[in-house]
Chain A
Amino acid sequence: MVDALPPPTPSQAPAAAVSAALTTTSVKVTSSFRGARIVLYGAVFDPAARPSDVVVIVRGPDAPLRIARKTKVAGIWVNSRPVVFEGAPGFYMTASTRPLDQIAGFGPLRRLGAGIDHLAINAPFEQRVETRYGVRDVVVSRLGADYLDWRRAVVRLKQNAGLYAADDRGVTFVDRGLFKAEIDLPTAAPIGVYTAEIILFQDGHPVSRRLRGLTVEKVGVERALYLFAHQRPWSYGLASVVIALAAGWAASVAFRRN
């Protein structure tokens, strides 16, 4: 789990390290589920006490998604052909001590995939490789110049659904070297395995990194019904119809007696 990146500039003081733990490692989705708050505590160990920034990235399970653009055809607004985007996590939230672009430059953030702008979301089925102006292997998207509009729309719609967010005051130091982060999962948060990545930045470079796992799972009745619906769909359908017809019949009998 420990993945300490070497500091880019060798210094005399020993390397700084970060350590962190989640207060809960599994979120249980029951019938009263209305979202959950994930609390993370961690510590920065640095004998030299250099200025440190902490970034926490919580990622939900990846799921391909489709997005369509509305266009006006003969006076009415019609969806275009849907475009499949891959690499978009079902949930993505960053919390940090300062805005990400103040903590590190474009390069380190892009390499770590840290921040919504640096997510590797793309539309693989729209891409083809061709030779242009004598340059081989140029990746061209069929979406053309609008490609960025599409990608921005994916992020915007996820943000509106509360599934993507960046909280640039989300990590706070509660004591010397001890920090705390809170991340809110909305009700719409997808089920699955999540990762929480804790990165320590010093002087604009990632110095130390920790990875923690988190599962969001349905339990009890919710889980039983979900499994029933997906593993034995025909029996589930028959059972739901029997409930409906029986309820209708029962109501009519009950009212006749009155």
Chain B
Amino acid sequence: MDLYLPIAEVSVNAPLLVALGAAVGFISGLFGIGGGFLMTPILVFLGIPPVVAVASEANHVAASSTSSVISYTRRKAVDFRMGGVLAAGGAVGSFLGVEVFRWLRLLGQADLVVSLSYLVFLGVIGALMLWESLGSILRRRRGGGAGPRRDRRPPWLYGLPLKMRFPRSRLYISVIPPVLLGVFVGVLSAIMGVGGGFILVPAMVYVLRMPAGVVVGTSLFQIIITTSLTSVLQAGRNQTVDVVLATLLLIGGVLGAQVGARASSRFRAEELRALLAIIVLAVGLRMGLGLFFTPDEPFVLMAGNG
């Protein structure tokens, strides 16, 4: 059953999009991420204009994250204060990101920046995550202990001013690192059409040293706020949110996220991380390597108004 999208102005297969939304939602619930880094490239591959894909996907990420965050809230696995600080940065970041994206479109360089961002961020994070999770799987197989504890917290985290207590994360740190992290993720959210969970989760674990139990829930909470804001800003400034496309995706997405969240308890954390790392790495390489091959068609058409 084909459906014509009013903003994207292309015709898509509706059941296919619902199924894709469900599949990405499942992955999202399983790993506690938004899933935008998977969905945006798929939409572009299906022929949706990239600007519409990026903006509508922010909406889909907001929906599937809401679907999974509620169960984390019930388990008290969300640090709302930390999430709020991150989201304050995220708000500034999405505002900047939407403007940067507008400017890049005018320059005709939006595609390049999106591809490079995927290659660099997904490539680096995927590789680091794979290395780390394979390491812990190997340590477990060898029957060694829990491995070297990483309790040494970096001194700069404590030396900065504007300290704040985060009781649920058992932290007393400066708000500057989380705000900057939020800004960074907000910019990426607008440019790449992602929630930024794949950056937030490792950054919370390795930079902010938050307890693993609250990381995923807090990341989802911050993603909801940032992507909701991005979605409103993209609609208001660029008129690129396709509500029909977003609705098709989120019908599958919210259901898939619930199933995924249930399935996640059956796997070991490091095995899940290794699997996620492989997916992240594959998407990053697929998106980025195109930049190095000689294109079949040396010219690209763009809309007249940018």
Residues of A with Cβ closer than 8 Å to B?
29-34, 63-70, 75-82, 84, 150, 153-154, 156-158, 160-161, 187-188, 191, 218, 221-223, 225-226, 229-230, 233-234, 236-241, 243-245, 247-253, 255-256
Q: How far is the CB of B79 from chain A (nearest CB, A)?
A: 19
Q: How many residues of B contact A (CB 8 A)?
A: 62
Q: What 0/1 pattern do residues 228 to 243 of B give for CB contact below 8 A with A?
A: 1001111111010101
Apart from the given pairs A237-B232, A243-B63, 19 other A-B contacts in the complex at a CB distance below 8 Å: A31-B3, A33-B4, A34-B4, A66-B301, A67-B302, A69-B299, A75-B292, A76-B292, A158-B301, A229-B6, A229-B241, A236-B241, A236-B243, A237-B234, A240-B59, A244-B66, A245-B62, A248-B63, A252-B71
Task: Name the B residues within 8 Å of A225 (CB-CB).
Answer: 6-7, 243-244
Task: Judge whether B62 and A244 touch: CB under 8 Å.
Answer: yes
What residues on B are CB-neighbors of A84 within 8 Å? Answer: 304
Query: Is B6 a contact partner of A218 (Cβ separation < 8 A)?
Result: yes
A251, B67: Cβ atoms closer than 8 Å: yes
Of the listed stretches B82-90, B165-173, B251-259, chain A binds: B251-259
B175 at the interface (CB under 8 A from A): no
> A237 is contacted by which of B9, B233, B258, B302 (Cβ under 8 Å)?
B233
Question: A229 — which chain B residues lie within 8 A by C-beta?
Answer: 6-7, 235, 239, 241, 243
**Cα-based distance from A76 to B250 in the complex (angstroms):** 35
User: What's the least CB distance linking A232 to chain B, in Å?
Assistant: 10
Q: Which of B236, B239, B295 is A77 in contact with, Cβ under 8 Å?
A: B295
Residues of B within 8 Å of A240, CB to CB, are 59, 231, 235, 241, 243, 246
Is B60's beta carbon under 8 Å from chain A? yes
Interface-central residue, B4, B234, B250, B258, by most chain A CB under 10 Å: B4
A158 (CB) vs chain B CBs: closest residue = B301
Closest A residue to B56 using CB positions? A240
A-B contact pairs, 17 of them (CB 8 A): A70-B299, A76-B292, A77-B295, A79-B108, A79-B109, A154-B299, A154-B301, A236-B235, A237-B232, A237-B235, A237-B236, A245-B66, A245-B228, A247-B63, A248-B65, A252-B258, A255-B258
A77 engages B300 (CB within 8 Å):
no
* A-B residue pairs, 7 tightest by C-beta: A248-B66, A237-B235, A251-B254, A153-B299, A64-B304, A237-B232, A82-B108
Main secondary structure of the interface of B (DSSP, over half): helix
* Contact across chains for B2 and A32 when beta carbons are under 8 A apart: yes
Q: A226-B7, A233-B235, A237-B233 are in contact. Are A77 and B108 (CB under 8 A)?
A: no
- Majority-rule SS of A interface residues: helix
B212 within 8 Å of A by Cβ? no
Convert B208-233 into 0s and 1s, putting 1 for each residue whose CB lies closer than 8 angstroms to a CB of A: 00000000000000001000100111
Contact B11 A251 (CB under 8 A): no
CA distance in complex: A161, B10 (Å): 12
CB distance from B23 to the nearest CB of A (A): 15
Which interface residue of A70, A156, A239 has the most chain B CB atoms within 10 A? A70
B residues in contact with A241, CB < 8 Å: 59, 62, 228, 231-232
Query: Interface readout for B32-69 with A: 1 if CB under 8 Å, 0 if not?
Result: 00000000000000000000000000011011111111
